[in-house]
A and B are shown apart, each in its own frame.
Chain A
Amino acid sequence: MAVLELTNVSKHFGAIHAVSNVSFSLNAGEVVGLMGDNGAGKSTLVKMIAGNFRPSEGTLRMDGAELVMHKPVDARRHGIEIVHQDLALCNNLTAAANVFLGRELRKGVGPFSILDYASMYRRAGEIFKELKSETRPRDLVNKMSGGQRQAVAIARTMLSEAKIVLMDEPTAAISVRQVAEVLNLIRQLREKGIAVVLISHRMPDVFTVADRVIVMRRGRKVADKKIASSSPEEVTGLITGAIEQAA
């Protein structure tokens, strides 16, 4: 059964139809590349899945049950995590503090509970190990490389039992070597049975790591096919509109 199923989802902002009648499903342990030009409706679509927007029409179903979310915290509670394009990291805090930001572990009772540094360092260290990333929980984020920063942002999604991880342009502003690191992190998530939606402009990344590609153009889904049965040329054609609809 699909982890997440979108049925005829649309989103209008006044007269603007940002997303029209989109349906697709996400399966566990699957990496889906979501591609499209600027303004094609990718981020609107992702924001609906992340709980920022409610769809104007259509439904979201998670594990078969209807999913209604009012704010991002609801999405997180349902196991939907997002890695923001700017990573949403605090440079003045340690890696562990960033991983646990908003979900700090504490010990003690009620108003007397204090931050549990030891457990947070340990757990963050375990997650970095799982991600096979050389990131030290006690280091300040402002001293880290782009790849390590990505690892910190991705580690956040592994705190709870995430089912779906949405990644917004994770490889847009980092070096080639770091891109390889990030793609490895994505593979680690897939191995844990997490569904990953990779929003990207970079064709090579999607074709390296994704199992399936969904192409959006002008708010509509114009393709949804296995990477193996598509090609960069076809996807480029679909994005630009040279090819109207995938075969």
Chain B
Amino acid sequence: MAITLEQTIAHKQNSRLTQILNSQTFWVLVAIIAACIFLSFATNAFATKANLFNITRNVTFVAIIALGMTLVIITGGIDLSVGSVLCLCSMVLAVVMHAGYGIEVGILASLGTAVIVGAFNGLLIAYLGFPPFVVTLGMLSIARSLAMVASNNTVVFEFGPDHDLLLSVGGGAWFFGIANPVLYMVVLALITGFVLRWTRFGRYVFAIGGNEHAATLTGVPVKQIKVAVYIISALSAGVAGIIQTGWLGAVTTNIGAGMELQVIAAAVIGGANLAGGIGTAFGALVGSALIEVIRNSLGLLGINAFWQGTFIGGAIILAVLFDRIRTFRRE
């Protein structure tokens, strides 16, 4: 029997399974699981409650920012300022609370700072056509310097009347013994994943990364979306900063230094494409998890910590290598 046009049109080219097998995120996840199984047998310290609690919590700070970064990367941009923005937002929170204001005021001030920074980045990039690399590189310097100005480069470790509440928000485990930061991460990841897949905003983020010119021609509000994306990125850094402040119980002006590279690495390992148009929220988590598992395992296996950078760098290159191989095969 001949195949009708209708059957052809209704045909799905890729089944769910082939889609999963083709995704970088899936294979990174496999690598993580394999590493975890290996480590459980190779060391006694890995599969302990304390270590798993540590790993899951350490993942969160990078992962939360990687969620915001993934949006930026999908639009084809980059945000190098996130580490410094984390520092600035932490410091604003710390200084405001130290001055005797409550935690609500502190968090509002902190997130307000993030919105201003993100809007500044976004407006310059979207409306004045600055390259994202340059604007956010400038902001990397500015934000950290402002954090030093705000605190006079001191360590803040007293957070006024709501001191204990802040430490509990960041350092507690309110729900079945799961570290609070992990809960925030999961909730934020679910929201990000939902927005990317089910909202018009998410669709436009992908469209801009796929073909910005086409998005403009078809009436997508490209500039507004870009500004929003950089605001979200800065906000994710701010949220991570607030949580990290509560967890650490102190803020110095060098927290988050170099974090932007870890965050970008996490997003890329998780499958986000720096050329734009591709990336997932789940990938951001998986990429962050791989980095943390590498760091943790090197310590447990007794390998000199100086090797960390080599392994994480190798993971970045390896992850992208698989993507290249798939592309070559297609061509």
The chain A residues found within 8 Å of chain B, CB to CB, are 72-73, 76, 84, 86-93, 97, 101-104, 106, 113-115, 125, 128-129, 132, 134-139, 143, 156
20 CB-based A-B contacts, threshold 8 Å? A72-B217, A72-B219, A73-B219, A88-B218, A90-B206, A90-B207, A93-B207, A97-B203, A102-B219, A102-B220, A113-B200, A114-B199, A115-B197, A115-B199, A115-B200, A134-B5, A134-B8, A138-B14, A139-B13, A156-B218
Is B206 in contact with A136, judged by CB distance below 8 angstroms?
no
Contact of B10 among A113, A114, A125, A132 (CB under 8 A): A125
The winner among A92, A103, A139 for most chain B CB atoms within 10 A is A92
How long is the Cα–Cα vector from A89 to B200 in the complex, in angstroms? Answer: 17
Q: How many residues of B contact A (CB 8 A)?
A: 28
A132-B5 contact given A97-B203, A102-B219, A125-B10, CB 8 Å threshold: yes
Is A136 in contact with B11, judged by CB distance below 8 angstroms?
yes
Contact of B215 among A84, A101, A132, A156 (CB under 8 A): A101
Residues of B within 8 A of A129 (CB): 5-6, 9
Is A138 in contact with B12, judged by CB distance below 8 angstroms?
yes
- Contact flags (1/0) for B1-24 with A, using CB distance below 8 Å? 000011011111110000000000
Is A114 in contact with B12, judged by CB distance below 8 angstroms?
no
Asked if B306 is at the interface (CB within 8 A of a chain A CB), the reply is: no
Contact of A91 among B6, B9, B211, B219 (CB under 8 A): B211
Residues of B within 8 A of A104 (CB): 200, 203
Contact of A88 among B13, B211, B277 (CB under 8 A): B211
Residues of A within 8 A of B307 (CB): none
Contact of B198 among A76, A114, A134, A156 (CB under 8 A): A114
Closest chain B CB from A106 CB (angstroms): 7
Residues of B within 8 A of A103 (CB): 218-219
Asked if B187 is at the interface (CB within 8 A of a chain A CB), the reply is: no
Contact of A134 among B9, B215, B219, B277 (CB under 8 A): B9
Known A-B contacts: A88-B214, A90-B277, A103-B218. Give 8 more (CB < 8 A): A86-B213, A87-B214, A97-B207, A101-B207, A101-B220, A128-B9, A134-B8, A137-B9
Is A136 in contact with B200, judged by CB distance below 8 angstroms?
no
Asked if B170 is at the interface (CB within 8 A of a chain A CB), the reply is: no
How long is the Cα–Cα vector from A63 to B268 in the complex, in angstroms? Answer: 54
How long is the Cα–Cα vector from A88 to B215 in the complex, in angstroms? Answer: 7
Is B199 in contact with A88, judged by CB distance below 8 angstroms?
no
Closest chain B CB from A95 CB (angstroms): 10
Closest chain A CB from B189 CB (angstroms): 18
A93-B206 contact given A115-B200, A132-B5, CB 8 Å threshold: yes
How long is the Cα–Cα vector from A106 to B220 in the complex, in angstroms? Answer: 15
A106-B200 contact given A89-B211, A90-B211, CB 8 Å threshold: yes
Contact of B218 among A102, A115, A125 (CB under 8 A): A102
Residues of A within 8 A of B209 (CB): 92
Residues of B within 8 A of A87 (CB): 214
Is B219 in contact with A138, judged by CB distance below 8 angstroms?
no
A138-B13 contact given A88-B211, A97-B203, A106-B200, CB 8 Å threshold: yes
Is A92 in contact with B200, judged by CB distance below 8 angstroms?
no
Query: Would you list which residues of chain B between 160 and 196 have a CB under 8 Å from chain A?
Result: none
Is A89 in contact with B214, judged by CB distance below 8 angstroms?
yes
Is A76 in contact with B219, judged by CB distance below 8 angstroms?
yes
Closest chain A CB from B284 CB (angstroms): 17
Asked if B278 is at the interface (CB within 8 A of a chain A CB), the reply is: yes
In the complex, residue of chain A having the shortest beta-carbon distance to the beta carbon of B211 = A90
Residues of A within 8 A of B198 (CB): 114-115
